[in-house]
Amino acid sequence: MQTDVRNLGRVDYLPTYAAMQAFTAARTAETPDALWICEHPAVYTQGLAGKPEHIFNPAGIPVVQTNRGGQVTFHGPGQVVAYPLIDLQRAGYYVKEYVYRIEESVIKTLAHFGVTGHRVAGAPGIYVRMDDPFSHALLPQRPAKLGSEPFRFAAGSDPNFAGLGKIAALGIKVSRHCTYHGVALNVAMDLEPFSRINPCGYAGLKTTDLSTIGVSASWQEAAGVLGQKLVTYLAP
């Protein structure tokens, strides 16, 4: 069954959130999976674990409570947001592998632009070396494999973000085996609003985008590459 890929363009966050919930509530075992790709006007979103103290000064940017996992993040113009609406039961894999596949899609998207993306143990999302984003050297704080499955990682100590910038944030919800919410890749943004929060609940975590690390890519180009990688890596 093919995935229905839709580029929604720039859309407000709240109606998109409501549409994901409605789609997921109404879908049946025969409903094709979907991938919505979009961009949002400036908004802070809080996950289920979100704490108010992680937002210092919203300064007029709306704050929306959501039912996704994780803490606070920022969405704004120049960021590609992808919402995979996947029936995991039909796809044949579990949530941990789903997260791994989304992260792998981002890593492969960054590789398309010559950038090396990294996982950090205990901290979902994708990170880059700020001093050398094109270096292939492995991070000492990368997740440790458990057994032969690439998505089963050993739990480590507190995440170490030294020298790193977060370039993609992940927050998901699974309802009746079906996913919504998703991943946001920073392309060419105004990064200042990230300085008014503890991104994903981590004080001092730097946030970056492709533009800041020297990659000139349009929103449309990055959205096209990420969409193609997600369709490939989320396939059953």
Indicate which CATH number applies to the domain containing 109.
3.30.930.10
> Has residue 146 got a pLDDT over 60?
no
The per-residue pLDDT for 151 is 47
Domain residues for the domain of 82 are: 4-233
Is the pLDDT assigned to residue 174 strictly greater than 50?
yes
Catalytic member of 200, 217, 223, 225? 200
Q: From the CA atom positions of the chain, what is the Rg in Å?
A: 17
Beta-carbon contacts of 184 under 8 Å, excluding residues fewer than 6 positions away, are 73, 75, 79, 80, 81, 82, 168, 169
Q: Which of 104, 90, 96 minimizes the C-alpha distance to 183? A: 104
pLDDT in tens, 176-234: 999 999 999 999 999 999 999 999 899 889 999 999 999 999 999 999 999 999 999 99
Indicate the pLDDT class of residue 149, thresholds 50, 70 and 90. Answer: low
pLDDT in tens, 85-125: 999 999 999 999 999 999 999 999 999 999 999 999 889 99
Q: Tell me, yes or no, if 38 is annotated catalytic.
A: no
Cβ neighbours for 165, distance < 8 A, ≥ 6 positions apart: 127, 128, 130, 206, 207, 208, 212, 213
**pLDDT tens string 25-38:** 999 999 999 999 99
- Cβ of 127: how many Cβ atoms within 10 Å? 27
- Mean pLDDT in the chain? 93
Best CA proximity match to 83, nearest among 153, 178, 147:
178
- Count of structural domains within the chain: 1
